Structure 1
Amino acid sequence: MKKVFLSLLLASFLNAGELNIAAAANISYPLEELKAAFNEKYPDIKLVINTGASGGFNSQIKNGADFDVFLAANMDFATDLENLTKNKATSYAKGRLLLFAPKKDANLKGLENASCIAIANPKTAPYGKAATEVLAKVKNSNKIIQATSIAATLSQTINACEYGFIAASSKAELLKLGYKDENMLLVDENLHEPILQGMIIVKNSEDAKKFYDFILSDEAKAIFNKYGYE
């Protein structure tokens, strides 16, 4: 009996999986809730989540980085890996761009005389690219500072800039920090290309497919919706 118990315990240990997830920084806010919901369904799969700029993860994966699933901030960085992974990328959420003004009411007209406008690097961060598209269509002071990521853009805006373009998923956290609805403006989607966020399985496995399917589930969609995604 003891041997049977030990054999079952060993089998359980060997079957316990670990998934390395590369995730765009803008989904940092819903990630903990998504992780908890996934682990309720699959308690034996450990998620190791890394967040950062999508362009950086794209380069790392091309250079052999050990990720199982990639959740990018746009479709381009995911579809760019289709030939390498032999898998298809799909959209898991639609993001929204937010104009944040920590010390005043946020409005696009105010950009005309802004002392500093923070955006994420448009080459590696899709929300930065969307911000440049907006700035090309509205009058602004051209006093633009590029941060390395969408997370760094938020920090730059709070500490040094009059305005910043960030992910709408940041709104709930900003409200908790004491900022008001008036400090934030959801940017008109007609001013930039849609921010369709893409996902791709980098390394095929049953556990990777379970995570992929979960992110596309109604349960995950409801969590994304809570954080401003569509």
Structure 2
Amino acid sequence: MSALAANRAAALAALADPVRRAVYDIVARAQDAVGRDAAATAAGVPRSTAAFHLDRLVDAGLLTVEYRRLSGRSGPGAGRPAKLYRTVSGELIGSVPERHYELAADILAAGAERADRDGVSVAAAAAARSRGHEIASGAGGIDAALDACGYAPESDAQGTVVMRNCPFHALARRHSELVCAVNLALVEGLLEGAGDTRTAYPMPRDGACCVEIREATSRALGEPPTQTETPSP
């Protein structure tokens, strides 16, 4: 076994414990580095238990550590910096964090079959939208459908949904224009299949999915239409 394969196997084995996996998921979904107290509260475990699992995840190469004063103050009396954790860059084969390359490959292959008529980009988007509708029809709601596809959705009070994870991460980096268009069409299909009246918009951001779900009326003035919208004459 190669050193890389051994490292991947060890990292995946570290997530076999359900509490440790829950702690990892909390850090992976967070927008910023997570402290021991926050992880313990979110996981519903004692601080010492959270600290134990966080440090084991660091040992396994799944998390990295940084130190920062959470109060923002510095100098005497500011207190000691807190030990914070965040996920490492990159990914492991075996869904850490969750990726769905099989789904992407299936969508792109189905789109390629239609390419003679429509062109690859249009065909791939159509296939993605159709597959999204199919997935969401039996998922029990848009959040469940997004979770099933690996998007790690997070909603705010206004009903906006941000996807904290791109399930096609590596593909999107290599083929951004095509894969991001497929991503948008897939989410549109998920919304349709779930009977959700909100709209998917392209919203590129580092380290997360390039699609955001919002109420149709909340689009910023002058924002260009998506690839599947038709501009008014």
- TM-score of the alignment, normalized to the shorter chain, above 0.5: no
Structure having the higher strand fraction is: 1
Instruction: Choose between structure 1 and 2 for higher RCO, CA contacts under 8 A separated by at least 6 residues.
Output: 1
